Amino acid sequence: MIKVARRYRFVIRDTDRHGNVRVYLRQPGKPKVRLYEEPGSDAFDAEYRRALDAKPKPKPALVGAVLPGSVDALCVAYYKSAEFRRMDERSQRVRRQILDRFRVERGTKPAGRLEPRHLVQTRDSKADTPEAANSLLKALRAAYRYGVTLGLVDDNPALKVAYLPGSSEGFHAWTLEEVAQFEAKYPVGTQPRLALALLLYTGQRRSDVVQLGRQHVRDGWLHFTQHKNRSKRPVRLQLPIIPELQRIIDATPTGELAFLVSGKGTPYSAETFGNRFRAWCRAASLPLCSPHGLRKAAAARLAELGCSAHEIMAVTGHRTLKEVDRYTRAAAQKVMAESAFSRLVAAKPANEKSHSSLAGPEWDKSVSQVSENKGDSKWMVPRAGIEPATLRFSVACSTN
């Protein structure tokens, strides 16, 4: 039992499990101080007075402690912002990882003293991975923009540093041959084939495909909201279920609330499904292929069919033409090149005429011949539309 000495305020006696009695000074809001002299003695009185008058020692800074005004403090404030909290869980995790890596290097530095030249050095050090450099700049722009709003900093230095130009085409877009190779490995009725069909015939991301189920089907159409930016700028889509996709869905075991389910009968997370699909691709000897590559292939195929950028955006859910252009640039180049050469082939010189095997008055090299060019227009795509050779991609797309 703790006993309080009457003569000394805040003094307590404590007996430990070994029977030893210890005396402490315990003042509210201050750390407990042990007193070693015998209570009631002059030595104890002096020790007691020193303990009462002593100022508490400042606590040493903990490893990873946030210093006011630092880059750490700015990032921690940003993590609590509505803008950050409205991002989906995966985007939050990626954004936090990017900023936390930057904090390891500059977290204790004053946020207001970060200059564009410092960020240029950091950006250029990541020149071999331009997407990583640009992702850091994007994250810092968001954090500093929030800091300016709160008055934590006066300027946004990340806005003054340009992004690095991309050095790659991003995810590999599937070819017709790769699709056929995957289909040969996984026949209709298997889950890998259903996953391929959902990705290819909807043009959606893996995060959307894993949430699709029969509850989204109405009168042969899929009605759903894309997972990306669903809390900030939701994109709601209505897509027709083409006959080939419906045939594969009907022939494949599915879950109750999701077409694609794990071995436990539960829907996949986007990350788990992505890993699982890549494993299926490796088993089919397609190491470069991925779920997102099918989204690119679907958009490119629509472009090859003559669909306009706005028609493709209606399928993929992109908001800007710039985003669609990244997916369809190669396909558009192929279509325009074919169109150009078709004009070249169709356009014959006005004075050109087929040679006759026999020389005669109808053909004389020394005499100018006149022939009528009755038109050089040539339809590259029939007015009724075309069907892909092997993909059976039946998304209706006017080519008039």
Q: CATH number for the domain including 151?
A: 1.10.150.130
Q: Work out the pLDDT band at 179, boundaries 50, 70, 90.
A: very high
Inter-residue contact 35 to 44 (CB < 8 Å): yes
- Is residue 235 domain-shared with residue 182, that is, in the same domain? yes
- Is residue 185 domain-shared with residue 139, that is, in the same domain? no
Q: What is the pLDDT of residue 21?
A: 83
Structural domain of 230: 176-316
Checking if the pLDDT of 203 tops 80, the result is yes
Q: What is the pLDDT of residue 197?
A: 96
Measured distance CA(183)–CA(174) in Å, rounded: 13
Measured distance CA(277)–CA(271) in Å, rounded: 10
Is residue 303 one of the residues assigned to a domain? yes
Select the more confidently predicted residue: 180 or 351.
180
pTM for the whole structure: 0.58
Inter-residue contact 142 to 159 (CB < 8 Å): no
- Is residue 229 domain-shared with residue 150, that is, in the same domain? no
Measured distance CA(375)–CA(359) in Å, rounded: 28
Is residue 150 one of the residues assigned to a domain? yes
Select the more confidently predicted residue: 390 or 185.
185
Residue where a domain stops, chosen among 136, 160, 184: 160
- Is residue 32 domain-shared with residue 89, that is, in the same domain? no
pLDDT digits (tens, 9 = 90+) for 298-348: 988 888 888 888 999 999 998 888 778 877 776 767 777 877 888 888 876
Across the beta sheet with 21-25, the strand order is 3-4, 11-15, 21-25, 33-35
- Is residue 198 domain-shared with residue 287, that is, in the same domain? yes
Select the more confidently predicted residue: 291 or 5.
291
Q: What is the pLDDT of residue 319?
A: 85
- Is residue 123 domain-shared with residue 91, that is, in the same domain? yes
Give me the torsion for CA of 69, 71, 73, 78, rounded to 10°.
120
Question: What burial class does residue 186 get, using C-beta atoms within 10 Å of its C-beta: 0-12 exposed, 13-18 middle, 19+ buried?
Answer: middle
Among 116-125, 218-227, 294-303, whose mean pLDDT is lowest? 294-303
- Smallest CA-to-CA distance from 376 within 338, 349, 337, 399 is with 349
Q: Structurally, how many domains does the chain consist of?
A: 3
Q: What is the pLDDT of residue 57?
A: 64
- Is residue 127 domain-shared with residue 233, that is, in the same domain? no
Q: What is the pLDDT of residue 373?
A: 45
Is residue 307 one of the residues assigned to a domain? yes
Average pLDDT over residues 58-86: 82
- Is residue 153 domain-shared with residue 258, that is, in the same domain? no
Among 13-27, 177-191, 325-339, whose mean pLDDT is lowest? 325-339
